[in-house]
Amino acid sequence: MQTQTIDIKKYLPHRAPMLMVDDILSINDHEVVTSFKITKGNLFLKSNIFVESGLIENAAQTCSAIVAQPLFTSTKRFLKKDLKVLGFISAIKNLKVHQLPKTGGLLHTKAVLGSRYDTDDYALCTMFCTTFQKKNLLFEAEINLFIQEEKL
Residue ranges of domains in the chain? 6-149
pTM score above 0.95? no
CATH numeric code, 6-149:
3.10.129.10
Contact 69, 150 (CB under 8 A): no
Q: Are 87 and 150 in contact (CB under 8 A)?
A: no
Q: For residue range 115-126, what is the model confidence (pLDDT) as tens digits?
A: 988 887 788 899
What are the tens digits of pLDDT across the range 89-107?
999 999 999 999 999 999 9
Taking only the tens of pLDDT, the chain with its 152 residues reads 545 667 666 656 677 778 899 988 988 888 999 999 999 999 999 999 999 999 999 999 998 877 765 554 344 444 444 556 677 899 999 999 999 999 999 999 999 999 988 887 788 899 999 999 999 999 999 999 987 777 66
The partner residues of 108 in beta bridges, in order of sequence, read 35, 132
